[in-house]
Chain A
Amino acid sequence: QSALTQPASVSGSPGQSITISCTGTSNDVGGYRFVSWYQQHPGKPPKLIIYEVSDRPSGVSNRFSGSKSGNTASLTISGLQAEDEADYYCSSYTSGSTFVFGGGTKVTV
């Protein structure tokens, strides 16, 4: 099972918006609403920021939003802030009842 495809890096200036893509197949991203996104700062465990494509857990800033079209999911960070500089990973549930992660995207502010 191949990892989901994410861009290696994305950068933006403070206040701008950026979007990170996550491309899979009809057996994972395209077939389920169970796409989630994680933020990871250096030396820390990943933190769930988006689940079920576009829902945010309590306490996560509304500057983070998610969407999906076909086999590609996207994470948008609006009003970019210095604290958003981190690695971001997408994940999807799959037709085999397993999970798969994307390769990760380094966001630079």
Chain B
Amino acid sequence: QVQLQESGPGLVKPSQTLSLTCSVSGDSVGSNSYYWSWIRQHPEKGLEWIGYVFYSGTTFYNASLRSRVTISLDTSKNQFSLKLDSVTAADTAVYYCARVQLRLTAPGNRAFDVWGQGTTVTVSS
């Protein structure tokens, strides 16, 4: 049973860097069968895809956030991380980490098949 768990500060000051970690159990972030992704949801709003990292370290980001976001892997800890620079109140949201299945023969190909519970981040002074 694969499980993802987000962790990090729940409160970040404006202009600072938001840093979150997703701990993965039951699977390996070093596997070439998945993308490891971050998604956020503003209060009472829809889902916004932030980006993903592949086992090789290759990353793809939402164009609207690309200049501020970094997603990276730590295979030794079986974790992946999100850093978002120069945050403002508009970055206040619930942040989810999720797995994207890449195996053609597995259910959920190119879909977010496993999600963390989400962590609320508030940007405020």
Which single residue of chain A is at the shortest CB-CB distance from B113?
Answer: A48
Q: Are B46 and A103 in contact (CB under 8 A)?
A: yes
Given contacts A1-B62, A1-B63, A45-B117, contact A100 B111 (CB under 8 A): no
Q: Are B112 and A91 in contact (CB under 8 A)?
A: yes
A-B contact count (CB 8 A): 75
Interface residues of A, CB < 8 Å — how many? 27
Q: How large is the interface on B (under 10, 10 to 19, 20 to 34, 35 or more residues)?
A: 20 to 34
Contact code string A42-70 (vs B, CB < 8 Å = 1, else 0) = 00011110011001011000000000000
Q: Are B49 and A100 in contact (CB under 8 A)?
A: yes
B residues apposed to A, CB below 8 Å:
37, 39, 45-49, 51-52, 60-64, 96, 100-101, 107-113, 115-118
Q: Which of B45, B52, B63, B118 contacts A45 (CB 8 A)?
A: B118
Contacts A48-B108, A98-B62, A103-B46 known; list 17 others, CB within 8 Å: A36-B108, A36-B110, A45-B116, A46-B96, A47-B115, A48-B111, A51-B108, A57-B113, A91-B47, A93-B110, A96-B60, A96-B63, A99-B100, A101-B46, A101-B48, A101-B49, A104-B45
Q: Are A34 and B109 in contact (CB under 8 A)?
A: yes
Q: Are A51 and B47 in contact (CB under 8 A)?
A: no
Q: Pick 14 A–B contacts, CB within 8 A, sort by A.
A: A36-B108, A48-B113, A51-B101, A52-B109, A52-B111, A89-B47, A91-B49, A96-B60, A96-B63, A100-B49, A101-B39, A101-B46, A101-B48, A103-B46
Cα distance A65–B50 when bound, in Å?
Answer: 27
Q: Which of B51, B64, B112, B115 contacts A36 (CB 8 A)?
A: B112
A102 close to chain B: CB less than 8 A? yes
A36 contact set on B, CB distance < 8 A: 108, 110-112
- Shortest Cβ distance from residue A107 to the other chain B in the assembled complex, whole angstroms: 14
Cα distance A102–B49 when bound, in Å?
Answer: 10
Given contacts A45-B117, A51-B113, contact A99 B49 (CB under 8 A): yes
